[in-house]
A and B are shown apart, each in its own frame.
Chain A
Amino acid sequence: MNDKTLFGLKEMGPACRPALLRQLREMLPDECVIADEAALRAYETDALTAYRQPPMLAVLPETTAQVAAVLKLCRELDVKVVPRGAGTSLSGGALPLADGIVLGLGKFNKILEVDFDNRCVVAQSGVTNLALTEAVQPRGYYYAPDPSSQIVCTIGGNVSENSGGVHCLKYGLTTNNLLGLEMVTMDGEILRLGGKYLDPAGYDLLGIVTGSEGLLGVITEVTVRIIRAPQTAKAMLLGFPDNERAGQCVANIISAGIIPAGIEMMDEFAIKAAEDFAHAGYPTDCPALVLTELDGPEGEVSELIEQVRTIAAGCQASFIKVSASEQERERIWAGRKAAFPALGDISPDYYCMDGTIPRRELAHVLTRIRELSNHYGLRVANVFHAGDGNLHPLILFDANDKEQLEKAEEFGADILRLCVAVGGVLSGEHGIGIEKKDLMPVMFNEADLQQQQRIKCVFDPAGLLNPGKVFPVLHRCAELGKLHVHKGNIPFPEIPRF
């Protein structure tokens, strides 16, 4: 069964291209419609580069009204639409379709309002994550979620993926920092959800749209909460003889009532790669490293640093270092942020996984990953958002070797199955996209998936918006809407009554 029969679409696809192109050119300025094959190559992939597919066409609208007009037209012509921010998705969320258009939001790049009185920023969805912080930094504010791609990734993409970052343990994910948004549905209807206030009326529509991976609507504007930068922040490096004791230290810090601004873990392989690459001052003779940051009022930070030092010593830390200056703090983080490119330096390709586990399973999971690494004959480095249990095993391979690519994907899938088996989940922050959709049944049964798809049907009954992502199979809405009534066996005599 191909996509077309799944969605009950007319056999249009590329056949409707000339008509679509003509009408798009009528509604948008020339430079906003891309039809040239070479130019379309720029959109053929996102940050999950193993998958490539040039779109039928790409459009770059400049206004919300244009987005609405494009979506309305595509709805009428049954043309699929893949929304795209900066194309930094690690799960293939912005991978184009041969018979669909890419709707790029690159021209939605303006910050519309910086409102210090209401402690929020209103921005178009194509504004980068970092630009939000830069806009408010002069007055001592910042936007808290900081995914590692923050220099380029867009706030609209952050909303679609519910992005996190190293500070989300203390300051929350995108969903906890979003106040409002403007979005356009596949019917071309413009919706405004929330605003500059805390609690919108009715069901939590902001909550369901955040993290919906571009399947429910095209986000054109956001309102985000900004917070005051902490008075001070200090980073600590803690080296341990093994992963078990490093994990125990993290658990003990949190049990002691301390929520660090960030707490990361790296294994030996990742430590060495990062240190060789960034010279961050990491101890290369430690099998496990915990990197943590404490922020807040100065007195509090000093107090907490001492507490953490004691806890780490109690877990046999062989190395303890506190950043003595802002430069040193930044250098410590630079090492962590360099972990990915560092591995890119020593291997032609790497595949970044993103499962979350209960932290108590850490030692078991890392041992099992090592066994799988031997089994597949592929090296793996582990970096880990230790506070919230979000694992990022990086599988090293050579994509030119087809066998290695397949093995890397199998290895990755095994890791994610393992995460679910120990009580965790498939994705902590990168999303399901195209990459993990076939694994969704590992975590969810048919009833769970159908309930999610009914939400898709509320927003996009024709299934035209970013189809082929998140769900292994997208059911027809008419089928999902049917009510199956099982008459008969009722009695439940054992249910207590008053």
Chain B
Amino acid sequence: MNNEHFSPELEQQALELVQWSVAEGKTLAIRGTNTKQGFGLPIKADCVLTMWRLAGICEYHPEELVMVALPGTPLAEIRQELTRHNQHLAFEPPSLNRLYRSDEEGTLGGVFMGNLAGPRRFKAGSARDHILGVRAINGRGELWKSGGKVIKNVSGYDMSKLLTGSWGTLSVVTELSFKVLPAPPVSRSLAVWGLSPRLGLALLAQVASTPCEASGLAYLPAAALAAIAQNDMSLKDEALTLIRMEGTEVSVAERVQAIHQWLPPACQHNLLEQAESALAWSWVCDAAPLFDEQRTPIILKISMPPADAWNLIRFIDELRGCLWYLDAAGGWLWVGICQVSGADKLHALIREVRAAAGSATLYRAPLPVKQSAGIYCFADESVKRLNEKIKHSFDPSNLFNPGRLGLN
């Protein structure tokens, strides 16, 4: 296979390239800096289209909460510019490069194409809640746009949301506009140690049901904590329940104080200040307990009704040989399965997720496992069929990232 690489610097060049690929029937593997190539099934394409040269911030209006940038812009550059104005991407995109063993820094395009989100998901949403507009090239070689550069817009279908989370399978995105928000001046977390999963989950549910506006609620069992190789904190060999509060100084202090009333009696806890808190949440956000591919070759991220978390955790513990932790106020369960031959366990787990009326995405697995389990756990066949029709409507010749999501 002739894997020629193209790296356009202009939208027009990208357009010409796609038009050529349409005319010649050449399939394209579309990338930013290739930090998430481990996601999905391997892409078998004639050529590689890398977007990292199509980079730069085009417009930024902090007082309008809007930024417009090109897809190849390094996420670090976006963060840096936002920080200068005390703003941030509220959906807290994780860096998945450690999970996928890449040394590169990801791009803005990758963040939106993967619909990434971090621990603030239950409060601030994911990338799809922040996308405002796109310019993109479809699989017919046509440049099209949708949405706008203002934060409130219902003109026409919300096509930008369809592209967000499409992993480059619907169109080649050439420009993104998105909502940015003020960064909280103070961010602090309460670390509660040694709670059993049942007590930890109960605490998370309790805090989530108060008006305390926690912006991070996670539970890491001792085993998950032990699996985090890099840590600058003197970690105890115990389960960690993390509760994050963000806002103004007075407000954070008040709310942290208020949480104490719900702590189980005589439990150990301490306050993590800004830097420590950020470090702890980066483990949760970037899936640090699951970095080691030798140890957990299979990773499934489950999204389920929070009240079902307890049953799923018990099921996982009975399966044995799994490493898990809970994020997003009990709405997300990250599960690492600890042996290559864990396919049976994976299938059992997927059945359990279906029974709980949840959803799951396979983030990492050996190829045969990916092939047998699929990347997504669709609720039913009709939804999967609809996904396939949508893929076809954008990319009728299946040129873009063919096979990546396992849709026909």
- The residues of A with any CB-CB pair to B shorter than 8 Å are 115-119, 140, 161-162, 164, 168-169, 172-173, 175-176, 189, 191-193, 195-205, 207-208, 210-212, 228-231, 251-252, 254-259, 296-300, 302-304, 356-360, 385, 388-390, 423-432, 436, 440, 443-444, 447-452, 454-455, 457-458, 470, 481, 483-488, 490, 492, 494-498
Contact = CB atoms under 8 A, between A and B. Distances in A.
Interface stretch (B264-272, B291-299, B301-309): B301-309
A257 B63 CA distance: 9
Contacts of B359: 195, 197, 199-201
A379 to B, nearest CB: 26
A204 B165 contact: yes
B155 A204 contact: no
Given A199-B303, A202-B376, A257-B183, A297 B251 contact: yes
B378 interface: yes
Contacts of A197: 303-305, 331, 357-359
A448 B148 CA distance: 12
A145 B387 CA distance: 28
7 contacts: A199-B361, A202-B376, A259-B182, A390-B152, A424-B150, A447-B144, A490-B24
A255 B65 CA distance: 9
B152 A495 contact: no
B212 interface: yes
Interface stretch (B94-102, B121-129, B341-349): B121-129
Contacts of B304: 197
Interface stretch (B7-15, B187-195, B224-232, B317-325): B7-15
Contact of A356 (B65, B153, B360): B153
A448 B171 CA distance: 13
Contacts of B183: 257
Nearest to B166: A203
Contact of A212 (B7, B157, B331): B157
B166 A494 contact: no
B162 A189 contact: no
Given A197-B304, A200-B379, 8 more contacts: A192-B380, A195-B357, A207-B128, A208-B157, A211-B157, A255-B62, A256-B182, A426-B155
A119 B156 contact: no
* Residue from B66, B141, B158, B384 whose CB has the most chain A CB atoms within 10 Å: B158
A258 B182 contact: yes
B115 A448 contact: no
Contacts of A119: 208-209, 306
B7 A192 contact: no
Contacts of B378: 201-202
B361 to A, nearest CB: 6
Given A191-B383, A296-B251, A203 B165 contact: yes
B211 A448 contact: no
A201 B16 contact: no
Given A192-B380, A202-B376, A428-B154, A389 B159 contact: no
Given A119-B306, A490-B23, A494-B13, A424 B145 contact: no
B283 interface: no
B108 interface: no
B386 interface: yes
Those 9 A-B pairs whose CB atoms lie nearest each other, nearest first: A207-B161, A300-B251, A257-B182, A201-B376, A196-B305, A117-B307, A388-B152, A498-B5, A251-B63
Interface stretch (B69-77, B273-281, B390-398): B390-398
B20 interface: yes
B373 interface: no
B396 A455 contact: no
B52 to A, nearest CB: 11
Given A251-B63, A299-B250, A201 B379 contact: yes
Contact of B129 (A176, A205, A449): A176
Interface in B35-67: 50, 53, 61-66
Contacts of B115: 199, 204
Contacts of A359: 63-64
Contacts of A256: 182
A228 B125 contact: no
Nearest to B374: A201
B144 A205 contact: no
Dominant SS at the A interface? loop
A297 B254 contact: yes
A448 B360 contact: no
A270 to B, nearest CB: 19
Given A198-B328, A257-B182, A492 B211 contact: no
Contact of B209 (A116, A204, A212, A296): A116
Contacts of A191: 382-383, 386
* Residue from A200, A210, A470, A487 whose CB has the most chain B CB atoms within 10 Å: A200
Contacts of B149: 358, 423
B17 interface: yes
B151 A388 contact: yes
Contact of B248 (A210, A300, A385, A390): A300
Contact of B154 (A211, A252, A494, A496): A211
B159 A495 contact: no
B263 interface: no
Contacts of B6: 495-497
Given A297-B247, A427-B155, A204 B162 contact: yes
A257 B86 contact: yes
A486 B16 CA distance: 11
B394 A303 contact: no
A161 B213 contact: no
Contacts of A432: 154-156
A229 B211 contact: yes
B389 interface: yes
Contacts of B165: 203-204
* Residue from A203, A424, A470 whose CB has the most chain B CB atoms within 10 Å: A203
* Residue from B126, B331, B378 whose CB has the most chain A CB atoms within 10 Å: B331
Contact of A201 (B146, B153, B361, B396): B361
Nearest to B131: A207
A424 B259 CA distance: 43
* Residue from A173, A175, A207 whose CB has the most chain B CB atoms within 10 Å: A207
A424 B304 CA distance: 38
A447 B159 CA distance: 13
A172 B129 contact: yes
Contacts of A297: 211-213, 247, 251, 254-255
B122 A198 contact: yes
A71 to B, nearest CB: 15
Contacts of B393: 454-455, 457-458
A447 B125 contact: no
Nearest to A201: B376
Contacts of B146: 448, 451-452
Contacts of A173: 152, 154
B400 to A, nearest CB: 13
B181 interface: yes
Contacts of B154: 161-162, 173, 211, 427-432
B346 to A, nearest CB: 15
A211 B158 contact: yes
Contacts of A360: 61, 63-64
B22 interface: yes
